[in-house]
Amino acid sequence: MREARVSREDGGWTASPVGLHRVLAPTGVLPQAAERLDASPELWPGEVRIRVERLNLDAASFRQLSDQYGDAIKAEVLAIIESRGKMHNPVTGSGGMLVGVVDEVTPDSPLGLKPGDRVATLVSLTLTPLRITDGLARWDGRSEQVPAEGHAILFARSIAAVLPGDLPVPLALSVMDVCGAPALTRRVVKPGSAVAVIGAAGKSGSLSLAAARRAGAARLVGVVPHAREAEALTSAGLADEVVIADARDPVALAAAVGAPVDVTVVCVDVPGCEHGSILATRDGGTVIFFSMATSFSAAALGAEGLAADVTMLVGNGYTPGHAALALDLFRTSAGVRALFEGRHA
C-alpha cells in the first residue's frame, strides 16, 4: 500500500474517497470526466483491488464499437483501456460493469469486502481504473460479455456487491444491473398508495412492481406496450391491473392508467414518456424517472405546462442496500423470476 500523500492544503494530495488521486488528465476533474486514469495496481489508502474475470460492456457502447470496428473490436477495446486507464467509450460516453475476485483490501476501505469475495462492481467502468493483461484472448468480440484477465481499482466511495452463491452469475448481474429502481420505489411508495409502473414487464419494471407491493401499495397498475408483454405480466401476477398503452402518447397513457396514481415509475427506455407519466399522476404525487432516455427539460416544462403539482425524481442508481433488496425480491417473487428467465431464455 502506498503512503498517503499530504493533504491538498499542505501543497500536495491525499487519497480521495472519490478517486481524484487517480486522475492523470485533465487534473482536478472527477474520474468519470477524466481523459486518463492511473490504473497501476499499488493501492492508496481506502482502495480495493479486484482481479478481473469478466467485463460487461454497456449495450450501447458494444453496439457502437461493433458497428464501427467489426472484427477489429477487440483491438479497439484494448486500445481504449490502455490509453484511458478505464473502459470508457469516447463516442457513447458509457462503460459497463465488471465481475472479479477481491485481491487486496486496504484497512481504510469502508466497502466491507474481503479477499476472495466474488463481486460485481455497481459503479460504471467509466470511472474505474482498469488494466487488462491477457489481451482479451478469450473474447470472440461478438457479445458484450468479455472474459478478461487483469485488475481494477475501487475507491473508498464506490459500490460493489458480493455475488450470491445461489444464482448463476449472468442472472445475478442482470438483477443487480437495475437494482436502483426497486430500491427508490420502495422508499417512495407508502402503504395504501396507488402506483403505476411504465414498462412493467421489463427487468427494472417487474422489480419495481414487487418493491411497490412490498411497500404496501394498494393498487398496482402495470403498463406494457403490447399484448405479448401483457400476457407475460398477467401470468407473473405482479400487478393488479395490466394495461396496454404507448407511453409516448400522453393522452393514451393517462387514459390507460385511469384514476391518477400517487406514484408513477418510468422504466421504459424510450424518449417522450415525460408528459404521459406526469398526466397519469395525481396532484401531490410523485414521478420517478428511471429511464435514461428521460429529457430533463421535457419533464420540467411538461409539468409546468400541465399545471401539475407533482414531485419529479431523477432515478438515482444508488440507494444503500439496493443490490441486496433486488436479489431478495428476485428470490421471493416467482413472478419476477419468470419474467427475468423469459428474457434470458
Binding site for a copy of itself (CB under 8 A): 18, 20, 28-33, 122-124, 126-127, 157-159, 180, 249-252, 275, 279, 289, 292, 294-297, 299-320
**Minimum CB distance to a copy of itself smaller for 125 or for 136:** 125
Closest CA to 238 of 343, 332, 331, 335: 335
Number of H helices, E strands in the chain: 11, 14
**Minimum CB distance to a copy of itself smaller for 140 or for 309:** 309
Query: CB of 6: closest distance to a copy of itself in angstroms?
Result: 16
User: Which residues have CB under 8 Å from 262's CB, separation 6+?
Assistant: 189, 190, 193, 194, 195, 281, 282, 285, 286
User: Is 11 exposed, middle or buried (CB count within 10 Å of its CB: 0-12, 13-18, 19+)?
Assistant: exposed
**Minimum CB distance to a copy of itself smaller for 235 or for 311:** 311
Query: CB of 54: closest distance to a copy of itself in angstroms?
Result: 20
**Minimum CB distance to a copy of itself smaller for 240 or for 249:** 249
**Minimum CB distance to a copy of itself smaller for 126 or for 208:** 126
Cell 419474467 -> residue: 339
Query: CB of 13: closest distance to a copy of itself in angstroms?
Result: 12
Query: Which residue type does 25 have?
Result: A
Query: CB of 135: closest distance to a copy of itself in angstroms?
Result: 28
Query: CB of 67: closest distance to a copy of itself in angstroms?
Result: 21
How many residues belong to the chain? 345
Backbone phi, then psi, for 137, in 5-degree steps?
-60, -30
